[in-house]
Amino acid sequence: LQRHVIWLAIGLMLVLGAGCRPSASDVPGAEADLTLQPDPPTVGDNQVILALTDEAGAPIENADVRLEGNMNHAGMKPSFADLQEVEPGRYAGTLDFTMGGDWFILVTAKLPDGRTLDRKIDVPGVEAK
Ligand SMILES: [Cu+2]
């Protein structure tokens, strides 16, 4: 019985873990946690903070972090932001949402060890002013 419970727990972790990470990455287990200010985000310049942690939960320092914001429909120019590290593992910058609606942000973080972390983070419901 104990063995079954363990397998059930592992299966559950895989299912839940997959749900939290919509895109594949070559830095498995790393987390990219995005915070936007204002909340909910609004058309125009928004403050962006991205917290990067490795598979052990430790902050990932000295990464080269770039964001690309896109809308869920065709025909829009993407918005870019280069983030600066403001605290160990915390990267801040400004991203311009040029239109209200549903956006997604592509995170590209080049790690000092040469690996690249890629994430797609949905930002639904950017509010028009
Ligand atoms: Cu649009």
Q: How high is the pLDDT of residue 24?
A: 46
Q: Which of 61, 52, 3 is nearest to 31 (CA)?
A: 52
Q: Ligand 1 centroid vs 101 CA: distance in angstroms?
A: 7
- CA 125, distance to chain mean position in Å, is 17
Contacting residues for 70 by C-beta, under 8 A, at least 6 apart: 76, 78, 79, 103, 104, 105, 106
Q: What is the mean pLDDT of the chain?
A: 89
Q: Ligand 1 centroid vs 60 CA: distance in angstroms?
A: 33
pLDDT in tens, 92-118: 999 999 999 999 999 999 999 999 999
pLDDT in tens, 51-96: 999 999 999 999 999 999 999 999 999 999 999 999 999 999 999 9
Q: How high is the pLDDT of residue 4?
A: 73
Q: Ligand 1 centroid vs 18 CA: distance in angstroms?
A: 28
